[in-house]
Structure 1
């Protein structure tokens, strides 16, 4: 379990990344969702579990749909991967659209602890850039798990509609264990850059 964004209530919350992943895999396989990520009291050290409804954000979209929304509206793309991923794996390149990519770590490397100030920091960054609460927000990570949690958190913070970019930046692994070839931002040929 990892510390999760505290969205209110008297007790800290926890989020099982494994539960989020399993719920996402179940949805891909056509298995009905359990309706939440995490289970109250499950492996939580006596703390309340952090429950995210699968309907807690607007929905999942593919990278091409996100690109189209970014090109046709005032939508914003937010990359929630770690600084290490941004530096070594690359970033979506929105310069052909004349748009700004927002970077906001959901978890920090190497501890992978969820930033309890994620929503507050992102709200401040969006406010500084003049992005209103009603602007569509698209969240991307490596493969779509962390970004789903971030989209739900920002929906709970009053922003949205919030979308998860399914497949993320790198997508699922192929038979050889490599990412970036089956699905995701890179695999569909959208612009990206690497430092």
Structure 2
């Protein structure tokens, strides 16, 4: 699994999308593994597919269900997958689950969408997708 800082992930996503378009291939699949409510209300990168690693009320990961949902969306396990979550932790386990079922190219966004907590227990103030000023949208 590749570990990409937010700006690296955005640059990789843009370059890989262009490269694959020139070859007539689908762009990388960009997956937000947060719960749907997190993705919608906190915000998310544009063009991301929400496939939760776990969901409320269980809050229990089901790696097989997750991998099957990503495989269905990807259509081909050779298609590159970029994962993002809140802080870059859920994506580590989610990426391992994808690699375990045969995905060839998996990357995740280090620090995720909101980043690490600062000394005042606030996110988006030290690092992360939103902190780095990358494109995002909110419901």
Q: TM-score range by the shorter chain?
A: 0.7 to 0.9
Cα offset, 1:180, TM superposition: 0.8
CA contact (8 A) 1:80 1:103 kept: yes
The runs of 5 or more residues in structure 2 that have no matched partner are: 17-26
Cα offset, 1:158, TM superposition: 0.9
Please name the residue that 2:133 is paired with. Answer: 189
Please name the residue that 1:123 is paired with. Answer: 71
The C-alpha deviation readout for 1:51-73, integer Å capped at 9, x for no partner, is xxxxxxx2311011111111111
The C-alpha deviation readout for 1:128-158, integer Å capped at 9, x for no partner, is xxxx322221111000111111111111111
CA–CA separation in structure 1 for the residues paired with 2:127 and 2:36: 22
Please name the residue that 2:101 is paired with. Answer: 157
Cα offset, 1:111, TM superposition: 2.4
DSSP-derived class of the 2:98 partner: helix
CA RMSD of aligned residues (A): 1.3
Question: Which protein has greater RCO, CA pairs closer than 8 Å, 6+ apart?
Answer: 2
The C-alpha deviation readout for 1:25-59, integer Å capped at 9, x for no partner, is xxxxxxxxxxxxxxxxxxxxxxxxxxxxxxxxx23
Structure 1 residue 101 and structure 2 residue 48: aligned?
yes
The count of aligned residue pairs is 128
TM-score (norm 2): 0.86
Alignment of 1:77-96 (within 5 A): 77-93=30-46
TM-score (norm 1): 0.62
Please name the residue that 1:113 is paired with. Answer: 60
Structure 1 residue 63 and structure 2 residue 6: aligned?
yes
CA–CA separation in structure 2 for the residues paired with 1:160 and 1:102: 19
CA–CA separation in structure 2 for the residues paired with 1:125 and 1:102: 9
